[in-house]
Amino acid sequence: MQSIGTHTFEMWITFAIIGATFALYAWERIAIEVVSLGVLCVLMVFFTFFPLDVLGVNTLSPEVLLSGFANPALITVLALLVVGQGMVRTGVLDVVARIIMDKCGGHEWLSIMAVLVTVLGVSAFLNNIPVVVIFIPIMQALAERFDLPASKVMMPLSFAAILGGMTTLIGSGSNLLVNSALLGMGEKEFTFFDFTIPGLVLAGSGMVYLLLVAPFVLPKREGMAETLANGGAGATGRQYIAQIKIGEGSKLLGEKSRGGIFSGLGNMTLRMVQRGEEAILPPFEDFTATAGDILVVAATRAELAGALTHDPEGLYPDLGDDASAGEVPHTGFPIIGETVEIEETAEEEDGGETPWHGGERVLAEAMVPPASRLIGQTLVQIGFRYKTQCIVLGVQRRSRMIRTRMTDIRLQAGDVLLLQGSPDAVRDLRLNPDVVLIEWSAAALPAVHHARPAALILLGVVVASATGAVPIVVAALTGASAMVAMGVMNIRQAARAVDSKILTMIPAALAMGAAMHATGGAHFIAGGVTDAFSGAPPAVILSAFFITLVALTNIISSKAMAVLFTPIAVDLAISLGVSPTAFAVAVVFAANCSFASPIGYQTNLLVMAPGHYKFSDFARVGLPLILVIWLVFSLFVPWYYGV
């Protein structure tokens, strides 16, 4: 009876299956999910007809090959995606980004450094993809503020997120998969901060390159100015007329204009102040805001969305005495009878949230078509919010500058309304013949009222994992469940956070890794590497092994590479007579060095369009960074681990 490691035929078939799988991944003509499930089917069929029998048991049975779907690393990755999505949905990262921009003021280098360091730190604990999505518009705003092309800042953003992923165990899915592979082989697993010190050394050297060298290597390329300029679908630089009512708790209360400018309005342009029956026009010298003032401003969608997220009360326009009394006059808009009775919701009757204050909220745009029955009427006369359950936050009209209260504007054909409502209310606008919903403009607003629970949940996951109080999979899954249980997100939103590519690719990679280890393929490759560097010190072999894996990481999936080469790393270390830890860490760091191509990591693809990059730009900027990381790795890691 054969022992594991002597199945030559099975080993070469396994190599062929793995090679074909990687080729299909790189080809990208077939969905990754289909390829991943396909390779699982091929492996199960092959090892059913050619079983690896050890004491009468098939070591690669379907149960073994499919066990990846229940692997703790996979569950941890998916749970962390849900936790990360909860942080994105509540706008916690938006608040952090705004604080950074406010504190750094007009210092270009300091502002960019602060953002990149923040991204690196956050990426150590959250999935990199939502972090980069949040910070893309922040980097775009920095580029505009300092008159820089977006191509100078977008690639460093992605690279900083990748560097942050190599500093903790939950920094990236690849780290967790290496740990899971070690555990499956009976080797000592990593703790939360096991490789943080060498990871910080490598990430720090990479950050030095990004801040001091990359600006001279990055291309200076202009492109579509509106691409992700204001964060989100449908966001452009066009101005909406909106009004802000100063209440007793407003941050603008008591603020005095300086040179006719209110610093509290940010980039909004003040066009008129309505105080009682008096209309105050510019210049607003020595004007002090008081409770009850209505500020008519011109602002972009992004600015209004930010104001709505962080200080919403003032943005809901006053409907006037008729509306507040419960009636909307009939002035041509199709309603039943001469007045419309406004039914209060249960929340309003209880003194709670109105439909547009709480719950899931969506920001969208709708245009007034030429045949609309809204033309010639004001929002008060129409009773728009009560008929549609959507509130109009701003009106955009290109033909002229409007200096009047938004609620006094008589709508015209071609006007664009910036709306907020529940997802269902916004979808219902599709059936409204008096407006044309701009479908691609819809974007969810952050649920800031859940920001504190979300932040506490993330903190709990990190502390529980870092202290070893519970296994990481327990902390992550409990955190994801808490996000739903505490109302931060619902089941549907949590399900959308689960990436189907990860759900199928990781089990496929684990199955391929198990097949390569069981057939002796990992030992075969490790022996070949040892023979190729016969007589070389272990530190030299570790350095060569690392740069080989880095090259593969930029071609194939980093997660698949992490799973497949962990057994090779362990066998190679054993054959050299050294601790496997340093070689396993090499796999971790190599899997996080996807700098030389946009297909190496998803965040590179995210910044490709807003940065206006070509495929070759990543090689031009990423290859020197890889050389820096390789040099620092070769000098520090062997010394740190005593290789």
First to last CA, the chain: 38
Q: How far apart are CA 585 and CA 175, in angstroms?
A: 9
pLDDT at 41: 96
Position 168: which residue type? T
- Of residues 246, 239, 242, the one with CA closest to residue 294: 246
With bands split at pLDDT 50, 70 and 90, how would you rate the model's confidence at 227?
very low
pLDDT at 361: 75
pLDDT at 237: 55
Position 316: which residue type? Y
Q: How far apart are CA 136 and CA 147, in angstroms?
A: 16
Tokens 């720090």 label which residue? 204
Q: How far apart are CA 114 and CA 103, in angstroms?
A: 10
pLDDT at 353: 44
Contact 328, 390 (CB under 8 A): no
149 prior amide bond cis, ω within 30 = no
Q: SS in 3 state form for 307-351?
A: HHHHCCHHHCCCCHHHHHCCEEECCCCCCCCCEEECCCCHHHHCC
**What tokens does 53 get?**
């029998």
**What tokens does 364 get?**
């969208």
Cβ neighbours for 116, distance < 8 A, ≥ 6 positions apart: 156, 157, 160, 207, 210, 211
Mean pLDDT of 284-311: 75
**Range of 208-222, 260-274, 392-406 with top mean pLDDT:** 208-222
pLDDT at 197: 95
Tokens 């450094």 label which residue? 113
Q: pLDDT over 70 for what percent of the chain?
A: 82
Q: How far apart are CA 382 and CA 375, in angstroms?
A: 10
- Of residues 593, 637, 582, the one with CA closest to residue 182: 582
With bands split at pLDDT 50, 70 and 90, how would you rate the model's confidence at 34?
very high
Q: What is the pLDDT of residues 350-361, one digit of tens each?
A: 334 444 455 677
Contact 135, 93 (CB under 8 A): yes
pLDDT at 389: 84
Tokens 């080993």 label which residue? 11
Identify the residue with better confidence: 637 or 471.
Answer: 637
**What tokens does 300 get?**
């972009």
Contact 478, 65 (CB under 8 A): no
Q: How far apart are CA 518 and CA 513, in angstroms?
A: 9
Q: pLDDT over 90 for what percent of the chain?
A: 20
Q: How far apart are CA 241 and CA 134, in angstroms?
A: 26
In terms of phi and psi (left: phi > 0; alpha: psi -120 to 50; beta: otherwise), the region of 563 is alpha
Q: What is the DSSP string of 35-91?
A: HHHHHHHHHHHHHHHS--EETTEETT-HHHHTGGGG-HHHHHHHHHHHHHHHHHHTT
Weakest-pLDDT range from 43-52, 66-75, 133-142, 372-381: 133-142
pLDDT at 626 over 60: yes
- Of residues 604, 581, 606, the one with CA closest to residue 593: 604
Q: How far apart are CA 118 and CA 132, in angstroms?
A: 11
Position 58: which residue type? N
pLDDT at 1: 34
pLDDT at 56 over 80: no
pLDDT at 393 over 90: no
Q: How far apart are CA 496 and CA 148, in angstroms?
A: 35
- Of residues 341, 419, 331, the one with CA closest to residue 377: 331
Weakest-pLDDT range from 34-48, 335-349, 587-601: 335-349
Q: SS in 3 state form for 231-275?
A: CCCCCCCCCEEEEEECCCCCCCCCCECECCECHHHCCCEEEEEEE
pLDDT at 270 over 90: no
pLDDT at 7 over 90: no
Which option is the CATH number for 332-355+362-444: 3.40.367.20, 3.30.420.310, 3.30.70.1450, 3.40.190.10? 3.30.70.1450
pLDDT at 401: 59
Mean pLDDT of 24-43: 86
pLDDT at 199: 95
pLDDT at 155: 93
With bands split at pLDDT 50, 70 and 90, how would you rate the model's confidence at 236?
very low
Weakest-pLDDT range from 132-136, 321-325, 564-568: 321-325
Q: How far apart are CA 194 and CA 179, in angstroms?
A: 11
pLDDT at 539 over 50: yes
Mean pLDDT of 598-613: 77
DSSP strands (E only) in 422-523: 436-444
pLDDT at 399: 55
Q: How far apart are CA 557 and CA 499, in angstroms?
A: 15
What are the sequence ranges of the domains in the chain? Answer: 75-226+449-499, 332-355+362-444
How far is CA 353 from its chain centroid? 29
pLDDT mean across residues, the chain: 79
pLDDT at 309: 63
pLDDT at 131: 80
Contact 160, 120 (CB under 8 A): yes
Q: How far apart are CA 44 and CA 191, in angstroms?
A: 33
Count CB neighbours of 3 within 10 A.
9
Q: What is the pLDDT of residues 306-337, one digit of tens each?
A: 676 655 555 555 544 434 333 433 333 333 22
Tokens 């790189």 label which residue? 26
Mean pLDDT of 581-600: 88
pLDDT at 172: 86
Contact 113, 153 (CB under 8 A): no
Which residues on neighbouring strands pair with residue 242, listed in sequence order? 297
Q: How far apart are CA 188 and CA 580, in angstroms?
A: 9
